[in-house]
Amino acid sequence: GDQVKQSPSALSLQEGTNSALRCNFSIATTTVQWFLQNPRGSLMNLFYLVPGTKENGRLKSTFNSKESYSTLHIRDAQLEDSGTYFCAADITGNTRKLIFGLGTTLQVQP
């Protein structure tokens, strides 16, 4: 958790509002993955990022490798967006292993 720090740790949103989640990296990071763990425990892939920005529907994510951070923007939050969001750093090297943050638990309320 120290090498990948997520903030905030928890967040409550009203339906229809926007928010941003952040990951800061203290290790050299080649690529970043964002996941949503739903209430049943399954990990859903949201984004796989090299440095740059990707967008998918109401979600948008940026990875800035020079400043060692990544953000996940949620626009027009919906009830089904609730769950825990994890970012994971794919560290430089041949191992291709992921270092996970501790997650941001999001609750979207009507």
Q: Which residues bind other proteins (CB under 8 A)?
A: 1, 30-31, 33, 35, 41-43, 45, 48, 86, 88, 90, 95-98, 100-103
Decide whether 31 or 61 has the Cβ nearer to other proteins: 31
Strands 29-37 and 83-91: antiparallel
Helix (H) or strand (E) holding 55: strand 52-56
To the nearest whole angstrom, how small is the minimum distance from the Cβ of residue 102 to other proteins?
5
Angstrom distance (rounded) from CA 15 to CA 96: 37
To the nearest whole angstrom, how small is the minimum distance from the Cβ of residue 93 to other proteins?
11
